[in-house]
Amino acid sequence: MAMEPRRLLVLYASQTGNAMDAAERVGREAELGGCAAVEVVSMDRFDAGCLPKERVVVFVVSTTGQGDPPDSMKVFWRFLLQRNLGNQWLEGLNYAVFGLGDSGYQKYNFAAKKLDRRLVDLGAKPIIEKGLGDDQHPSGYEGALDPWLLSLWRTLNQIYPSILPRMSDILHPEMRTLENSKFQVIYHSADSVQQDSDMSEHPENFVKLIERARLMSPALQCHDEEKPHHLLRMVTNKRLTKEAYDRDVRHFELESLSSVIDFQVGDVLEILPGQNPSVVDAFLRRCNLDPDCCITIQRRATEKESLDPSQNGVVHPIKLRSFVALAMDIASASPRRYFFEVMSFYATAEHEKEKLQHFASPEGRDDLYQYNQKERRTVLEVLEDFPSVQMPFEWLVQLVPPLKKRAFSISSSPLAHPNQVHLTVNIVSWTTPFKRKRHGLCSTWLVALDPQESRGVVIPSWIHRGCLPPPPPSLPLILIGPGTGCAPFRAFIEQRAVQNTKGPTSPVLFFFGCRSQESDFLYEHFWLSHSQNHGVLSKEKGGGFFVAFSRDQPKKIYVQHKIREESARIWRLLNAGAAIYIAGSSTKMPTDVTSAVEDVIVKESGMSKESASRWLRALEKAGRFNTEAWS
C-alpha cells in the first residue's frame, strides 16, 4: 500500500505579484494546518519534467493581456503541450487550480482554464473545481480565493488527513501566532558601500546600483531582473491634448545616453519610475530607519539554499535609502491583506489592533477592500493611519510591494529615429470613492521632467517584444487604435513611410477615435500629412485614414461605426491578405471592434456570424489578427 503524501507543492505564475501573494497565502495556511513539507515555487524555477513525482500540487496562475500566460509560465506551459506526454503521464497527481483574472477582459482567466484542461488530459485528478478570482469582484480576487481555499482544505483533509493534521488551526485564525519573517536584514559598516553616490554623474554606476537593489529584493525574486537595456534622458515633453481639456496626453521623446537603441516597431519600453525623494524620506522617518546604514538581505538559514537570492552572484551591500527608493513601492502600490495581519501583531494601541485584526479576517475582507484597494492607499498612508505600529524592517522588506517597471507601447520607428524612443502617454489621475485625488506614479514622474532643466535625470529602461509583430512592407494593414491606442500605429506608419521611399509597400487603412476634434485629436497633423500627396495612408496608395469623434455630435460615433461604414474596403484588403491590428483600452473596445469586423465579414461574404467568428479565429492563429490592450 502506497504511503500517504505529506508534501504540498504550490506552483505559481505571476505577472504583477498578485498570484505570488495568493500562492504564499496557500503555503502559510498549509503550514498552519500542520503540513510537514510545503514548498512555494515560481513555475520558471521548477522543472516541469518532475511533475509526475509529485502527489499533491496547487497551481496559482494569473492571466495577462489577451488571455496569455505570465512570462514565468511560458516555458512550463510549452513543456506540458508536448504531444508525446500521453494521457497517463500525470496519473497519480492530485491538483487544484486557482486563477487570477479580470472579467472585463474578453479572455477571462484563460491561462487557468487552459492549464486545468491540460492537466486532466494528462491524467491528473482535480481535488476540487478550479477557482477563478476576478478583479471586478467587490473584494477583488480574494472574494473567490477565501471560499475556494476553505473548500480545498476541507477536501484535502478528507482525502489525505496526513497533509493537514491540524485543520482546526486554519479554521480559527484568532489562534494564529506570528512566525519569523522569511528574510533577514544584515547591517554592514559604512565603508562596505562603494559608488553609492554621484549616480547622475556616472550612469554606469547607477546601473550597478539598480541591479544590486533589485537582485536583493525578496519580492522581485519571481522575476529575472536584467540590467537596464538603456539609460535614457528626456529631450521632448509635449502636450498633445488642449490645455483646458481634462485629459493630459503627452508625447515624450527619449534619447539614449550611449548607444543606438535596438528595437523594432510593435516593441514595448519598460521604465523604472523615480519615487519622490520627500516621500522616501517620510517613509524612513515613519519607520525609524537610518537611511545611510548599509544592508544586504537574505533568506533565513532555515529556508532551502536553492532559493537564496545570493545564488545569482555576490550580493554587495547597499545603502538602505537606495534600496527603498529603487526596490520598494511605498508611494503608489497598495499593501496586501497579509500586511495588515502582520501589522496587527505590532500594534500597541488596542483600537488599532482590533481594526487590523478585523481587516485581516474573512469577515473584514470587504471593509479592507473599500479602505485599501478601492482607495489605492499607499504603504506610507497605511502606516501613518496606524501610528502605534512599528514593524521591523525585515517584515517591510518582505511585505511592501516591489517597485515595478511600467510598460508603454513605442510610438516611433527605429528607421526614422535610430537613437530615440517616442512614447504617447496618458498622464494618469483619478478620484477615489472618498473623493481623494490620486496620480499614476510613472506618468506623473515623466510629465514633471523638463528637458531643459532635468538633463541629469536618468530614465532606466528595458525594451521587450510587444503583442504586435512588426509587419513586412508587403503586408497590407488594417490598423485600429482609438485614443492612446494609436501609439504603436504611429510607429508602424513612420516605418512604412521610410520603407516607401526605398521600394513598393502595401496599403494601410487606419481607424482612429477620440472624443473631440478640438480637444484630443492626437497627432492630427501626422495622420493628415500621411493621408495626402501619395502618403502611405492616401487613397492613391490604396490606403485610408478614418477618424471617429465620439462627442462632436448628439449621437456618439466610435471606431466600430467607421469600420462598418468602410466594410467594402476592409473586405477587399482582407482578401488581399491583410493583417488586422488592434490597440487600446482593454474594457469594451477590443470586443466591440472584433464584433464590428465580424459584421463586415458577414455583410461582404454572406457568412453567418458564427462562421465569421471562426474565420477571425483562424486569422488570429495565422498571426494576422493581433491585439494589444491595457487597463
Residue ranges of the binding site for FMN: 14-19, 62-65, 135
CB 559 within 8 A of CB 590: no
**Rounded-to-integer distance, Cα 631 and Cα 629, Å:** 7
**Rounded-to-integer distance, Cα 366 and Cα 626, Å:** 37
The H-or-E segment that residue 460 falls in is strand 459-464
Sheet holding 420-426, edge to edge: 406-409, 268-271, 459-464, 230-239, 249-256, 420-426
Maximum distance among all Cα pairs of the chain, rounded to whole angstroms: 82
Residues near 440 by beta carbon (within 8 Å), at least 6 away in sequence: 332, 427, 428, 429
The H-or-E segment that residue 325 falls in is helix 320-327
CB 176 within 8 A of CB 345: no
Query: How buried is 569 (Cβ within 10 angstroms: 0-12 exposed, 13-18 middle, 19+ buried)?
Result: buried
CA dihedral 413, 69, 21, 355 (to 10 degrees): 80
Residues at the annotated binding site for FAD? 376, 406-409, 440-443, 630
**Rounded-to-integer distance, Cα 9 and Cα 22, Å:** 14
How many helices (H) and strands (E) are present in the chain, helices listed first?
A: 20, 22
Grid cell in block for residue 461? 529602461
* DSSP for 389-411, written as a single string: ----HHHHHHHSPB---EEEEB-
Residues 457, 460, 463: CA angle, nearest 5 degrees? 140
Q: What is the 3-state secondary structure (H, E, C) of 523-536?
A: CHHHHHHHCCCCCC
What is the chain's alpha carbon radius of gyration, rounded to the nearest angstrom? 26
Q: What is the DSSP letter of 483?
A: G
Query: How buried is 51 (Cβ within 10 angstroms: 0-12 exposed, 13-18 middle, 19+ buried)?
Result: buried
CB 24 within 8 A of CB 40: yes
Residues near 137 by beta carbon (within 8 Å), at least 6 away in sequence: 143, 144
**Rounded-to-integer distance, Cα 415 and Cα 544, Å:** 23
CB 113 within 8 A of CB 77: no
Residues at the annotated binding site? 14-19, 62-65, 135, 376, 406-409, 440-443, 484, 550-551, 556-560, 592, 630
Residues at the annotated binding site for NADP(+)? 484, 550-551, 556-560, 592
